[in-house]
Structure 1
Amino acid sequence: MTGWFGKQALDPALTLIAEPFVHPYMSANIWHLKGRDVDLLVDTGMGICPLAPEIDTPAGKPLLVVATHIHLDHVGSLHEFADRAGPAQSAAEFARMGDAATYAHEFRELEGAVSRLPHPGWRAESYRIEPAPLTRILAEGDSVDLGDRRFTVLHLPGHSPDSIALFDEHDGLFFSGDAIYDDTLLDDLPDSDRAAYRHTMRRLLELPISTGHGGHGPSFDRDRMRAIAQAYLATGS
């Protein structure tokens, strides 16, 4: 790997894109799923280096980019794409990308923000997120149709008030963002809500996924997701 991004093809349709030189606290998963009629990009990383050139959607084929929530590690490159969808709860904030919504200031203040400079002279203190007004607003029950598969939008608050996920009810494919993932779950941010998160976890216990791809950590199956949810509920948070 010589560039800023790392890529891993999980199957012929799905690629995981990561930013391995970003501090682990801020390094999020980016998912590119090739559909028959439309490609899907779930989240866009930090925006430190251009992401769009890394996405191999053929010229002329639509690409829909879905932000699972407005935190910095998921929306940094959103402005690079024309078709931008995101959660209704924070829709207006995408046109501003202010620190209060994105927590971009935390990266500017983070010691060891990157382990390798993206280019000479780069400074974390200059980090900012470009505004990216949404072209489509997503709410609970909405559909994202790629032609050969259709995802249902789930509103799963707790980590953040606007967290959404995409669930294919046909085969159980699940893009969960930060609603649930196989790593340390964050529920102590200023906009986190532990009571809402517990409700989300109880809902996820009943969700018949096959494979889940989260905003952080490795992918997981239904048994692992249930174990993560049960462990959170057992903490009494």
Structure 2
Amino acid sequence: MLSLAEFVVWVVGVSVLVFVFIPIRGHRGPLDDEESELEPGELLPYTPPPAEPQAKRSAFKAYRLTNTTFLIIEVDDIYSEHPYIYAKLVPEADTILLLDTGCGGASSDRTVEITSLRAFLERVPVAENGGRPINDGARMRYVVALSHCHYDHIRRSPPRRALPPILTMPGLVGVEQFACDSPVLQSAHSPAFVARDALPANSLCTALGIRTPQFASVLIPHNTMLTSVSGVPLGMTLLHTPGHTPDEVALWDAHDLMLYVGDTVYEWEPIIFPAQGDISVWFATIDQLEAVVMSSRLPEAVRINCGHRTVTRPALEVLRAARQFVSDILTGNVEVRWRRWRRGEWHVDYRQEGGQFSVRCPERLVEEARHQRRLSI
């Protein structure tokens, strides 16, 4: 049995609880939400959480190479080129320097929705960029350098199905997505090779029956430090590296010890010299690139990054091994795997045992290089 005093305390306690937690019509309890307009007994409306936007499938994937540079791979193009594209972010210049623009848009994966490189850069979250697009909100401008003018580095094929314009940028092919508002840089080594009337043939677009991009470019001299539109240095030096093609260039990042060489050399796929290639000149380019590496503060730390397959490999190792393999071809120490008649002349294919290096080119280029070597002895 409760004593009278205990009973009084119990009644007072219950009264306090009722006052605090049970609303009285026309009055508000001290724990009520001061912003609520609900009457007693009325339920709060249910507001579902905002849906996460569904990630759209893209023709590209991106991976961080350095604090400022990303590798972008076109993973499943119908040409089986899988070109490597590089994007260096330079916040102090409010600029992204792109090396090449790929050949994507016609993916073997029919579920791909984003076929525009520019849309990928500005709209697709990248895990290694903190889940943000590389150019989030399109805040940074672009400068585009073309390693050379072959189709798999400058164009984009039209999509095979209707997609939103922001994802495909219809009517704009590859580098055209950027040329409309950004400078496009090419080698000044052979202006005739990259002239507008020569581009359809020299880009190989004519041979493939695909549209050639139309764009204006700035021809850059050898050994030029690149800058933004406003003149801020971008931390890259453009080098003329002819041989694979007359217009081939490399970019040298002396700060990050990164060398970007386009299609001059790469591993595990054939290095394909077109009819306008020159193997003797290619040897001179390899020597030049090795000299650049050796002049750096840490030659053994320099990494080479190529237009296909090879990325962040020791530069000296790759350059020297490639030179030795092509030299072995000229001395007859590598057998021809096949000879085929293509585009009006015989083409040959050489492959190193193990497959690290292989070369495919007009047989004429090999014979010309052998002749030049005999003359130099």
Which has the higher mean CA deviation after the structures are superposed, 87-96 or 4-13? 87-96
| 1:122-173 deviation per Cα after TM superposition (whole angstroms, max 9, x unaligned) | xxxxx31320111x22121111146575222211111101101011234421
Contact 1:43 1:66 in 2 (8 A): yes
Name the CA distance, whole Å, in 1 between partners of 2:177 and 2:191.
17
1:80 to 172, 177, 189: 177
Report the more deviating stretch, 72-81 or 201-210. 201-210
Counterpart-to-counterpart distance in 2, 1:188 and 1:149: 30
| Aligned residue number for residue 54 of structure 1 | 120
* Contact 1:96–1:131 under 8 Å retained in 2: no
| Alpha carbons 1:70, 1:94 under 8 Å: kept | no
Correspondence for 1:130: 213
Within the alignment, does 1:67 sit opposite 2:146 as a pair? yes
Structure 1: unaligned runs, 5 residues or longer: 109-126
Counterpart-to-counterpart distance in 2, 1:170 and 1:10: 14
TM-score, with length taken from structure 1: 0.80
Question: Partners in 2 of 1:94 and 1:132 — Cα distance?
Answer: 10
* Distance in 1 (alpha carbons) for counterparts of 2:282 and 2:143: 27
Instruction: State how 1:1-237 maps to structure 2 within 5 Å.
Output: 2-23=57-78, 26-36=81-91, 37=93, 38-48=95-105, 49-55=115-121, 56-58=134-136, 59-76=138-155, 77-81=174-178, 82-89=182-189, 91=191, 93=194, 95=196, 98-108=199-209, 127-134=210-217, 136-145=218-227, 150-208=235-293, 210-219=302-311, 220-222=313-315, 223-236=317-330, 237=366
C-alpha contact (below 8 Å) 1:187/1:194 kept by paired residues: no
The alpha-carbon deviation at position 24 of structure 1 amounts to 6.2
Structure 2 unaligned regions, length at least 5: 1-55, 106-114, 122-133, 156-173, 294-298, 331-365, 367-377
Counterpart in the other structure of 2:35 = none
Query: Is the 8 Å Cα contact of residues 265 and 271 (structure 2) preserved in structure 1?
Result: no
Q: TM-score, normalised by structure 2?
A: 0.52
Distance 1:97 1:6, change over 3 A: farther
Q: Which of the two has greater helix per residue?
A: 2
Distance 2:135 2:247 in 1: 28
The amino acid that maps onto 1:51 is L
Q: Which deviations, in whole Å up to 9, do the C-alpha atoms of 1:6-35 show, x marking residues without a partner?
A: 222334422221222225653211111111
How many residues are aligned here?
218
1: CA distance between counterparts of 2:256 and 2:70?
18
Separation in 2, partners of 1:187, 1:18: 19
Tell me if the contact between 2:58 and 2:120 (Cα under 8 Å) persists in the aligned partners: no
Shift of 1:202: 2.4
Offset at 1:185?
4.7
CA contact (8 A) 2:225 2:233 kept: no
**Gap change, CA 1:233 and 1:204, over 3 Å in 2:** farther
Q: Is the 8 A contact 1:43 1:74 kept in 2?
A: yes
The one-character-per-residue Cα deviations of 1:85-108 (angstroms, maximum 9, x if unpaired) are 111245563645742110013444
Q: CA deviation at 1:64?
A: 0.7
| RCO comparison, higher one (Cα < 8 Å, 6+) | 1
Equivalent-residue separation in structure 1 for 2:197 and 2:135 (angstroms)? 28
Indicate the SS of the match to 2:271: coil
2:119 and 2:195 mapped to 1: Cα distance?
A: 22
* Amino acid in structure 2 at the alignment position of 1:10: L
Cα distance between partner residues in 2 of 1:51 and 1:19 = 9
Distance 1:24 1:206 in 2: 34
Shift of 1:44: 0.4
Deviation at 1:214, TM superposition (A): 0.7
